[in-house]
A = this chain, B = another copy of it.
Amino acid sequence: MENNKRILLVEDDLNFGAVLKDYLMLNDFEVTLAKNGMEGFEKFKKDVYDLCILDVMMPYKDGYTLAKEIREKNSEVPIIFLTAKSMKEDVLKGYKAGADDYLNKPFDSEVLLMKIKAIIQRKSADTKAEQVQFEFNIGKFHLNSKLRFLTFQDEEPIKLSPKENELLKMLILHENDLMPRELALTKIWRDDNYFTSRSMDVYIAKLRKYLKADEDVEILNIHGEGFRLVVKSKVSE
């Protein structure tokens, strides 16, 4: 499975942070570690996370402040605070900053894991409801990228594999424009190297085969740059 949950961990104690990160990765989470509030916010802006785990006491920018900034950008993402303090005021402050849960250090890692699972579960439904666009028309084709169906006129839909589907969607979103190779590799393959690049070429070949049904739709290569999905406009009619 590829769609592991992504966690942003912000912890200034590098030693502890690394251990916790390893532990979480061992439990099939993708973990990004930031070593202070500043860096945490930068990383948060750059990517999409399923959960944030924030240390409260950090130099430059404490956990509460970071949480508030995160809430301003994204009001949904679950937040768990880690803290050595267990003073009531701090707990209340945490909840006011939009915490979903609270954990006192030292804590049991198994308990943290349960909390993470509980929280991600109750949030996941909402996150799914986050409907983005999933229906597209391209030439005489129609793509339903939720069901992964590619339909040509009124024929039987062709079933696309996840990668075929993602790649075609990305091409369509760049219709008539360059879709950089690097973009597809980093977003869909999540890695950019010789082999993933070759793999992508294989998928381009597959898509071309499907798209042959409409001669006005073509995937062109821009050498060294990427691909371009063109739809010949029905001009000269």
Contacts and interface: CB of A to CB of B under 8 A. Distances in A.
A213 to B, nearest CB: 22
12 contacts: A88-B111, A92-B110, A92-B111, A95-B114, A99-B118, A100-B118, A121-B192, A124-B186, A125-B187, A128-B182, A147-B222, A148-B225
Given A111-B88, A222-B147, A186 B121 contact: yes
Contacts of A177: 146-147
Interface string A124-163: 1110100000000000000000111000000000000110
Interface string A183-227: 100110011100000000000000000000000000000111100
Contacts of A147: 177-178, 222, 228
Nearest to A2: B224
A228 to B, nearest CB: 7
A101 interface: yes
Contacts of A124: 182-183, 186
Contacts of A192: 121
Contacts of A115: 95
A149 to B, nearest CB: 10
A26 B161 CA distance: 35
Contact of A191 (B117, B128, B148): B117
A234 interface: no
Given A92-B111, A124-B182, A125-B187, 16 more contacts: A1-B224, A88-B108, A91-B111, A92-B110, A95-B115, A95-B118, A100-B118, A117-B191, A121-B192, A128-B180, A128-B182, A146-B177, A146-B178, A147-B222, A162-B224, A162-B225
Number of chain copies forming the complex: 2
Interface of A: 1, 88, 91-92, 95-96, 99-101, 108, 110-111, 114-115, 117-118, 121-126, 128, 146-148, 161-162, 177-178, 180, 182-183, 186-187, 190-192, 222-225, 228
